[in-house]
Structure 1
Amino acid sequence: MNHTMLAAVAESAHATLTVRQIDRPVPGQGQVLVRVNAAGVNPLDTKIAAGAGAHARQALPAVLGLDLAGTVVELGEAVEGFTVGQEVFGMPGGIGGAQGTMAEYIAVDARLIAAKPHTLDMREAAALPLVFITAWEGLVDRANVRSGQRVLIHGGAGGVGQVAVQLAKASGADVYATGSAGSLDFIRSLGATAIDYQAQSVEDYVEHYTAGEGFDIVYDTVGGSTLDASFKAVKAYTGHVLSCLGWGQHSLAPLSFKSATYSGVFTLAPLLTGKGREHHGAILREAAVLANAGQLTIRVDQQHFALPDVNEAFRQVAEGRGKGKTVIQLVSE
């Protein structure tokens, strides 16, 4: 057996990623060794490579990459529920000092992965874990999204946004989503009422779609001033604002005067703290159920990148040029 593997290594901040041979990991107790078929590229990966993203606690040099889809090739001790040859997906590494997914193999905590949906190919499955877990932790875990509610997703065409729209729809909610003019058709294709945030003020669309009452749930996937807009758009008393990018300084007055609720979503916490990892696996199993039922898809950028193209893939994500999630494919299907 070959004891080395190819991996994309961020040697230092702002440096070009290097594809080189490193030691192939050995699965420890509770881990499985996965042959990576495809690795999703997230904005956080590009930030870490640029020396930012301190909250991810990934010191360089490091193999980056949070998301994967692949095949189990070896089981560590005390692993149940997985078999060699099984196709899996998950968000198992790339932060907190752990090896990332942009490598031929990765040893992962079995609690963080799940069986790949059979309706999605490897590239699609690799694009899904981070964004779906983020959507679920907000809409389901924090806000208990349910039938009959009016839900507003800010950034409905983005990675988290497109999945949040579909998750809210599958829960029976009446879904609305903001986007730029060029993204409105895609948002409508997901089953949401599309709102051009540049053409309509918060007050205008709250009046138009809720008769001035506000939305039951508002999920901010954009951050900054969009979170402030969310406080204005939410319903009084029972309304719930969520944000996965609520990291700035904001006035709580608009929210407080409505007696509404705010929840932050920090999807990386189980990887950084070791607590709650089983829940990530459970969420991914729910994603597979929805995908297999035809209620969940993910738009993947059509450009095909292999591991040697990692720097171009990172540039595409950093510059926001992708039409959907950017994925690096390590094994041809």
Structure 2
Amino acid sequence: MKAVVMTGTGDPSVLQVVEQGEPQLQQPTDIKVQLHAAGINPVDTKLRQRGVFFEDALPAILGCDGTGTVVETGEQTTRLKVGDRVWFCHGGLGREPGNYAEYTVLPEAVARPLPDAIDFTTAAAGPLVLITAWEALYDRARLHKGQSVLIHAGAGGVGHVAIQLAKLAGARVITTVSDDDKAEFVRQLGADKVINYQKENLVEAVMELSKGYGVDVAFDTVGPAVFNQTLSVITHYGQLVTLLDPGKEVDWSVARQRNLSISLELMLTPMLTDLPQARAHQGEILDRCAGYLHSEQLKLHVSKTLPLAEAAQAHQLIEQGHTRGKIVLQTGV
């Protein structure tokens, strides 16, 4: 089969297309999937630059998000059969092979049924960002109807689904973008108010939009500088969830004076530390999201599709930082 292999750490040129044997079932509860598409996430580019999570794991196949058709099942599988359409977030971190390939093997429990009405390419854009946004907003922040939420980088992979999940919860959404085209894009997703951080002061804009109250919940997908700014726009006893390390320069006195709850979100934890109950919960999230996608209450935006052999170009595009939604590799039929 064809696969894109990370041969070392560095720029996108370390991603090489190779021919190798198809993976084989390792456990009686495994399934083999012919991959149709693989989502590209920023974590893929970071692993390529800095190294994967496990030692002595190179060469490695990246890519956590995959969709495809079951072509073989282990003797102890119970839910899925040959021919079933599936989507999942599995592998790509250095231990198990990822999805920049034509085939993969994974535990049956991790793969979730994909409704016929959802095409493989669109679905491949979803698992990691959907689980991330769901866990951040619903599990960590307990976002509910009537609350206000600030979602940073609303046009990005996580941001564009976070806006929609927040609206499904009945929240009022304020989001940040970098240009007018992205502003129009997030309005179409349901954002109530949009802040162009290139033209407006974040703190002043949020406080004006909230009439001095601040937001009940904030979701930081950007990093330390934005995290620090955001502390000042959350109302007393509010919630801040971040995907990234806040850094060493945080003025925690602001959070303390406001009695804020600070949460960290890393949806990769169950994969890194083998937490079956957490993996099962993430599977349930995908099942719920499949229902929302099928009923068109939720949409995944794929800004560009590329063939498997152009994975390096996909990484370059993500690192330029101007992508709306997601980029997807078409890995097979």
4+ residue stretches of structure 1 with deviation over 4 A?
53-58
The Cα of 1:236 is off from its aligned counterpart by: 0.2
**In the superposition, relative to structure 1, how do residues 86 and 264 fare at CA in structure 2: closer, same or farther (>3 Å)?**
same
Question: Offset at 1:54?
Answer: 5.3
Secondary structure class of the residue paired with 1:108: strand
How far apart are residue 212 of structure 1 and its match? 1.2
| Post-superposition offset of 1:247 | 4.5
Question: Match for residue 78 of structure 1?
Answer: 76
Match 1:289 to one of 291, 295, 300: 291
Provide, for residues 149-172 of structure 1, a one-character-per-residue CA deviation record: whole Å limited to 9, x for no partner. Answer: 111101111110000000000111
How far off its partner does 1:55 sit? 5.0
Identity of aligned residues (%): 37
Deviation at 1:47, TM superposition (A): 2.0
Q: Could you tell me whether the CA contact under 8 Å between 1:92 and 1:109 is conserved in 2?
A: no
Q: CA deviation at 1:84?
A: 1.3
Q: How does 1:61-210 map to 2 (within 5 A)?
A: 61-182=59-180, 183-192=182-191, 193-210=193-210
Q: Distance in 2 between matches of 1:202 and 1:312?
A: 33
Is the alpha carbon distance of 1:196 and 1:56 closer, same or farther for their aligned partners in structure 2, counting shifts above 3 Å? farther
Task: Say whether the 8 Å CA contact 2:52–2:94 is kept in structure 1.
Answer: no
Secondary structure (helix, strand or coil) at the match of 2:266 reads: coil
SS in 2 for 1:138: helix
Instruction: Count matched residues.
Output: 325
Check the 8 A contact 1:117/1:125 in 2, yes or no: no
Please tell me whether the aligned partners of residues 153 and 178 of structure 1 are also in contact (alpha carbons under 8 angstroms): yes
Provide the residue aligned with 1:243 in structure 2: 242
RMSD: 1.8
Q: Which residue of 1 aligns with 2:6?
A: 10
Residue aligning to 1:325: 326
Matched ranges for 1:37-52 at <5 A: 37-50=36-49, 52=50
Which shows bigger deviation, 269-278 or 19-28?
A: 19-28
Instruction: Please give the TM-score of this superposition, normalised by the length of structure 2.
Output: 0.92
CA contact (8 A) 2:53 2:93 kept: no
5+ long unaligned stretches in structure 1: none
Match of 2:282 in 1: 280
Residue 57 to residue 197, structure 1, CA distance change in 2 (3 Å): farther
Asked if the contact 2:115–2:294 (Cα under 8 Å) also holds between the matched residues in 1, the reply is: yes
Kindly indicate whether the alpha-carbon contact (under 8 Å) linking 1:7 and 1:19 is maintained by their aligned counterparts in 2: yes
Report SS of the residue matched to 2:244: coil
The alpha carbon displacement at 1:96 in A equals 4.2
Letter in 2 for 1:222: V
Distance 1:267 1:166, change over 3 A: same
Q: How far 1:251 moved relative to its partner?
A: 2.3
Q: Offset of 1:214 from its aligned partner?
A: 1.2
In structure 2, do the counterparts of structure 1 residues 56 and 260 end up closer, same or farther at CA, with 3 Å as the change threshold? farther
Three-state SS of the structure 2 residue aligned to 1:62 is: coil
> What is the alpha-carbon distance in structure 2 between the residues aligned to residue 87 and residue 57 of structure 1?
33
Pairwise CA distance, 1:73 = 1.1
Cα displacement string for residues 249-303 of structure 1 (whole angstroms, at most 9, x for unaligned residues): 222221111001010001110111110211111111111011112111111123x
The question of 1:259 aligning with 2:259 is answered: yes
Give the match's secondary structure for 2:95.
coil
Contact 1:165–1:175 (CA under 8 A) maintained in structure 2: yes
